[in-house]
């Protein structure tokens, strides 16, 4: 991981010992290095130098406002998949003209909000969406800037739950009907057809599936342009993997070179939408051991983080490295442990059979590579308050999302007054209203 390492036998985030942050904010907490995010953004921009590419960060990986603001300041655009994300991107200062809206199920309200916000592009994923968007745009006296998301029927060779580019997946317009969709889009008065888009999945660890998909898109782009359709944008999506364990995902430079080779001659403005690759290794989750439990068959470290804070292991069988905050001395004996949370499900296992040095109740550890698809997927299952988020940059740090309080947790709910003995019943009032 780029931002985290031992110094003086203590795990640091940038220049800060994580132990110190744990004392200050309590555990569990998420820690993101903004300097790591910014370095990665810089490396992506540099890898694509000479190509007309806009980098639209996929918010769904990590939509914390501080992360978004640091990217906005560097000039990044955004890829959003809901009205909430669109509002967050705008609130973070990402200009509307750098925002792309993707997703299979945009509602009428979301499309209207996107049009009113004046965003750069709406990626349409189906014929019914195209029809609805045309109607919504016309009703508002606008034309919607549209790219058609195409499903190229390419196997991304990643986990099935995050594979999006096969014919049987719900995403995109099937490539065999792409020309039909493009002609239709061009004919609709509420639609300004701008380009094509593709995104075949996440955590890709090989270049070849990208290449296959981009070659199909390049061929389609050329054919449709030759037909006279006014295409100027080609959105290549995200999906670049990161090392969690021993994966060797494509190097940024090789990914960019392949894109240059396949798409460089199209005369298209390119877009890429990295999410995980931008933030995944810029964050970790710090937790404290509550108990060390010697089970009949295994030793368990029961920690104060759980599947509500980190759903990826149960959801995707994901691997996250685990590091004690105190560096084990050289030659420390290692013994396998299962690292589990307090939640009442066996699925609440965050790591299995990890060789770790002896840890005791009260010791701190870091679960690594939790910058992407972790805090954004957190819940308060088991009525566990949402964990706080801390960002660091160099020697600076801040709590950018405080720990949820019990008042906030309980205060989300309302009691119907007909459950309260003194209050007049809603049901009674409704009946009286009818009578
Ligand atoms: C999720 C998503 C991304 C980002 O994917 P990563 O694997 O995080 O890079 C990009 N584009 C679209 C359309 C997405 O749905």
Please choose from 85, 103, 273, 283 the residue to mutate so as to test ligand 1's pocket, defined by most ligand atoms within 8 A of CB. 273
Ligand 1 pocket mutation, candidates 67, 124, 238, 283, criterion most atoms within 8 A of CB: 238
- Taking residues 310-325, report their average pLDDT: 97
Check residue 433 and give its pLDDT. 63
Question: What pLDDT does 163 receive?
Answer: 86
pLDDT at res. 421: 75
Percent of the chain at pLDDT exceeding 90 = 91
Question: Which atom from ligand 1 is nearest to the alpha carbon of 61?
Answer: 8
For 196-218, what is each residue's pLDDT tens digit?
Answer: 999 999 999 999 999 999 999 99
Ligand 1 in reach of 149 Cβ (< 6 A): no
388 band by pLDDT with thresholds 50, 70 and 90? very high
Average pLDDT of the residues in 154-174? 89
Chain segment 319-364, per-residue pLDDT in tens: 999 999 999 999 999 999 999 999 999 899 999 999 999 999 999 9
Ligand 1 pocket check for 77: Cβ under 6 Å: no
Q: Which of ligand 1's atoms lies nearest the C-alpha of 277?
A: 9
Nearest CA to ligand 1 atom 10: 238
Per-chain mean pLDDT for the chain:
95
pTM of the model: 0.95
pLDDT at residue 422 greater than cutoff 80: no
Instruction: Using the atom order of ligand 1, give the atom closest to the CA of residue 123.
Output: 13
* Ligand 1 pocket, residue 60 CB under 6 Å: yes
pLDDT band at 162 (very low <50, low <70, confident <90, very high): confident
Centroid of ligand 1 to alpha carbon of 275 (angstroms): 6
- The structural domains of the chain, ordered by start, are 4-31+280-408 (2.40.37.10), 103-272 (3.20.20.10)
The pLDDT, as a whole number, for residue 428 is 63
Query: Would you state the structure tokens that stand for residue 162, as one six-digit string?
Result: 């995050």
pLDDT value at residue 241: 97
The mean pLDDT value for 377-387 works out to 98
Provide the pLDDT confidence category of residue 420 given band limits of 50, 70 and 90: confident
- Amino acid 122: pLDDT: 98
Atom in ligand 1 nearest the alpha carbon of residue 203:
7
CB-ligand 1 contact for 274 (6 Å cutoff): yes
Condensed to tens digits (0 to 9), the pLDDT of residues 120-133 reads 999 999 999 999 99
- Would you state the structure tokens that stand for residue 295, as one six-digit string? 């089970």
């Amino acid at each position: 991981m780029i931002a985290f390492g031992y110094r003086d036998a203590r795990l640091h985030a940038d220049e800060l010992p994580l132990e110190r942050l744990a004392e200050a904010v309590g555990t569990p907490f998420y820690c993101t290095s903004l300097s790591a995010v910014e370095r990665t953004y810089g490396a992506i921009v540099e890898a694509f130098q000479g190509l007309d590419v806009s980098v639209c960060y996929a918010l769904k990986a990590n939509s914390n406002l501080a992360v978004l603001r640091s990217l906005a300041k560097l000039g990044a655009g955004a890829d959003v998949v809901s009205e909430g994300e669109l509002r967050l991107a705008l609130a973070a200062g990402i200009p509307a003209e750098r925002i792309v809206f993707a997703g299979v199920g945009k509602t009428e309200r979301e499309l209207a909000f996107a049009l009113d916000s004046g965003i750069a592009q709406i990626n349409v994923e189906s014929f019914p969406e195209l029809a609805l968007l045309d109607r919504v745009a016309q009703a508002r006296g606008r034309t919607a800037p549209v790219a058609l998301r195409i499903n190229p029927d390419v196997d991304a060779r990643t986990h099935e739950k995050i594979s999006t580019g096969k014919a049987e997946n719900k995403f995109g317009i099937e490539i065999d009907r792409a020309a039909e969709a493009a002609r239709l889009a061009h004919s609709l008065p509420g639609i300004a057809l701008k380009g094509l888009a593709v995104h075949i999945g996440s955590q890709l660890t090989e270049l070849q599936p990208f290449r296959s998909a981009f070659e199909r898109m390049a061929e389609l782009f050329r054919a449709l342009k030759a037909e006279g359709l006014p295409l100027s944008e080609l959105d290549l999506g995200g999906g670049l993997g990161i090392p969690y364990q021993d994966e060797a995902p494509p190097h940024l430079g090789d990914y960019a070179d392949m894109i240059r080779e396949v798409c460089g001659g199209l005369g298209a403005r390119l877009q890429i939408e990295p999410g995980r690759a931008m933030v995944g290794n810029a964050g970790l989750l710090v937790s404290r051991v509550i108990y060390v439990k010697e089970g009949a068959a295994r030793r368990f470290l029961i920690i104060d983080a759980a599947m509500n804070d980190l759903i990826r292991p149960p959801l995707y069988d994901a691997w996250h490295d685990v590091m004690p905050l105190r560096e084990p001395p050289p030659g420390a004996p290692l013994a396998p442990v299962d690292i589990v949370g307090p939640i009442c499900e066996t699925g609440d296992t965050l790591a299995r059979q990890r060789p770790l040095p002896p840890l005791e109740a009260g010791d701190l550890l870091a679960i690594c590579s939790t910058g992407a698809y972790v805090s954004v997927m957190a819940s308060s299952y088991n009525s566990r308050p949402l964990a706080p988020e801390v960002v660091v940059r160099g020697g600076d740090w801040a709590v950018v999302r405080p720990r949820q309080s019990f008042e906030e947790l309980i205060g989300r709910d309302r009691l119907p007054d007909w459950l309260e003995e003194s209050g007049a019943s809603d049901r009674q009032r409704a009946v009286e209203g009818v009578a």
